[in-house]
Amino acid sequence: MPPAGARKLAPEPSLRRLPVYLRLLTRLDAEGTRTVSCTAIGRELGLDFTQVRKDLSCTGIVGTPRVGYRVDELIAAIQRFLGWHRRTDALLVGAGNLGRALLAYEGFAQYALRIVAAFDIDPSLVGTEVAGRPVRHLDDLPDIAESSGALVGILTVPAGQAQSVTYTMVLSGIRAVWNFTGARLEVPRGVLVEDVDLGASLAVLTNRLEQASTC
């Protein structure tokens, strides 16, 4: 038996669904709904209700038979479990098109993610501001990483520079890399990498489209 209070290790697919629940719950909360059942959530989102229950149980939430879960408690439990109950500070490297779009994106607030500064090596970008955040030279990253205590690095550089920038980040105390470059990153044990690979996503779309049109 695991010790009392032991955190459950959530499967990645469950983790990825939690923000979907959170969005629905926030809407329900705004509409004044006080309690909700897995059945109702599943119906709304097109998911199996028993999968919803298993996903939610990861967060440690306890419900009431015949009633369901309190919406406010559920929101708090998911946010707590995802670490979205307190602010996460991030540094962004690569102030090109995608990097600037992420800097300007207001939606990160709902994930309690704050990009404190951006970095680049392009002289025409260094010294500018994007959405109120300074673009500094990459050489300043170690100092600002230390002074800000940021643990997350957002990587939006060209794929060819991804690995070398990752080394710089890790040496500066970054513990988790959110990788938008499509490159495979090597990191020391204990450092996390999460890939957002547009090519992988598009591959699913265009393959299925191809299959559909040639069958």
Footprint on this chain of its own copies (rule: CB under 8 A): 7, 9-10, 12, 15-20, 22-23, 45-46, 81-84, 88, 97-98, 100-101, 104-105, 107, 110-111, 113, 151-152, 159, 175-176, 178, 182-184, 190, 192, 194-212, 214-215
> In angstroms, what is the minimal distance from the CB of 37 to its own copies?
18
Three-state secondary structure call for residue 50? helix
Task: Decide: residue 202, CB within 10 A, 0-12 exposed, 13-18 middle, 19+ buried.
Answer: exposed
> In angstroms, what is the minimal distance from the CB of 8 to DNA?
10
Task: Decide if 94 contacts 82 (C-beta within 8 A).
Answer: no
Structure tokens at 28: 């329900």
Query: For residues 120-143, b (16+ Cβ closer than 10 Å) or e, as one string?
Result: beeeebbeeebeebebbebeebee
Query: 4 or 65, CB closer to its own copies?
Result: 4
Return the one option of DNA, its own copies, none that residue 69 interacts with (CB less than 5 to 8 A, by type): DNA
Structure tokens at 212: 């559909």
With CB under 7 A as the contact rule, the residue among 57, 128, 161, 163 that binds DNA is: 57
The candidate with the shortest Cα–Cα distance to 156, out of 208, 198, 124, is 198
If binding is defined by CB under 7 A, does position 45 make contact with DNA?
Answer: no
If binding is defined by CB under 7 A, does position 5 make contact with DNA?
Answer: no
Task: Decide: residue 41, CB within 10 A, 0-12 exposed, 13-18 middle, 19+ buried.
Answer: buried
Binders of DNA among 65-104, rule CB under 7 A?
Answer: 65-69
If binding is defined by CB under 7 A, does position 147 make contact with DNA?
Answer: no
> In angstroms, what is the minimal distance from the CB of 7 to its own copies?
6
Structure tokens at 180: 């938008």
| Residues forming the site for DNA (CB under 7 A) | 11-14, 37-40, 47-51, 53-54, 56-57, 61-69
